[in-house]
Structure formats: structure tokens, C-alpha cells
Structure 1
Amino acid sequence: MRIAMQVASTLSTAAAVAAADEALANRDRNLENILWDGETEAWIDHAYALGNRPDLADVNKLCNMALAVGTGEEFQHGAIAAWMALDRTQPAQQAEQLSDVADLSAWTATIAHRLNHLGERLLARFPSPDDLLSAV
């Protein structure tokens, strides 16, 4: 299990997926949701995202995997960088593309709000440093 978590948390897109999972409140990311052929990964299954399973613990399993295998600090930096690079116009643009099929304005607003506060949420998934500024 440890080797699988090590591989999952060091895939090139893992930190960006952790940021996306956090934005979508995907609490059920697990190793079976990562298809990997040794070269390319595919991240699947967001069935329990956006509040579809409120009984699940509020966790980001990819962040937990990185912490469990000792790559938490690098992973945290990657997730924050991915969040900063996210195009915040995409939710509205994608909703517009589907406007003939469904009204996604409420979901778009929810995701936009989560994107604005995503950095804070990601940082909260990792231990805080114990330094001189901790008490301030």
C-alpha cells in the first residue's frame, strides 16, 4: 500500500488533482480512481464530489497519501502552485457551453467561491510549521 501511495502522490499531475479534488470537495479519491499504465495517468470517479456524500469525512486523500509517505511538503507546494495557476474563468465558460442542457449557475457559483478560498483549504490539509511566527 505504501508503494502505491508513493507512486500516486508523485505522479506529475497529482498535486494539481489534489487542488481540483479540494475545489470539487471530492472526499473519495482512492487508489482505485487512478488509472496508470506506467507512463500516463488518468484520474477518474468524482461521483461523491460536490456534497454527494456528506457522510464522508472532510479529507483530501491525495494530501493524506503524500503526508503518509513523507512527500507532504513538496506536494503542498505543488498543490498551491496548481491552485495559483488555475484559470478561474473556466467554471463559467464550461457552464456556458452546457447552458442549453442545464442551468449550472448555482454549481458555477459554488465552485468559483471554493476556488477563491482554495489556497487556505489546501494549506489546512498539511501540518503548520512550528516556527517563530507560529505564536503571532
Structure 2
Amino acid sequence: MTMTDKRVAIIPPATQAMYDTYHFAPATRVGNLIWVSGQVGLDADMRPADGIEAQARIAFSAVQGLLAAAGATLADVVELTTFHTALQQDIQTFSKVKDEFFPDRYPSWTAVGLSELALPGLCVEIRAVAVRGSGAL
């Protein structure tokens, strides 16, 4: 195993409190592989944003920021898993927002419907797997 194969927790300053409180890395990198923990749509006051569109934008922006902290971009995402509390109702709006962040070279995607997320009022959680440098043209 080389130094580049060592597991590195990606913990930007804005996520340190979450790491300390709940004991999970917002993202983890091993070599060029990056796993981004589920991101949700909390506003600046740490409350769920209003509706699926706002929550999806915030969550995708959080994924984008974590990837940047790990040296990657959204173009490097190879897999998305999304969790929805109202999957059939929200999928079209969610897909529209997803396509703004992934306008081409779409990653693999699994969408899962479930009854609840970590906080009341959350509609969606987004996790991603990326391979750093794979999105370069």
C-alpha cells in the first residue's frame, strides 16, 4: 500500500461540528476514489429548505463543495444514490435540478423512496461516488 492508497477523511471547516458530533466523515478519499456521505438540503439556519427544488440545490451544492475539497469535480462523479420521502411526487422536479448539475456525461443513479430522513421536513438526501480526474475531457 502506498501513501496515495491511505484513507483520508475530507472534513472542510464548515463540516467539523457534524464530524465531531455524529462521528462520520463528510467524504472519504482513498487514492482517486471519493465517497461523499449523504448530503441534505438544510438552509443557513440548519433547517430544511422549503421544498424539493431548494433542498436538491443545496444538497448538490454540498456534494460539489466536498468533491472540491477532495480535489475533484461533479464531472468525476460515477454514481449517485438519492433517497426521497416522496419519490414519485418529486422525481420530475428533482431530475430537473440534477440535470443542471449534471448536464451531460450522466453518472449511474439509483433513487430510493423511503418514509423518513434524519430530520423532519427533509425530502431528499444525496450521496455520491467519484473517481478523481475521471471527468476530464
TM normalised by structure 2 equals 0.33
Rg bigger for which structure? 1
What's the TM-score once normalised by structure 1's chain length? 0.33
Q: Which has the higher strand share?
A: 2
Greater helix share, structure number: 1
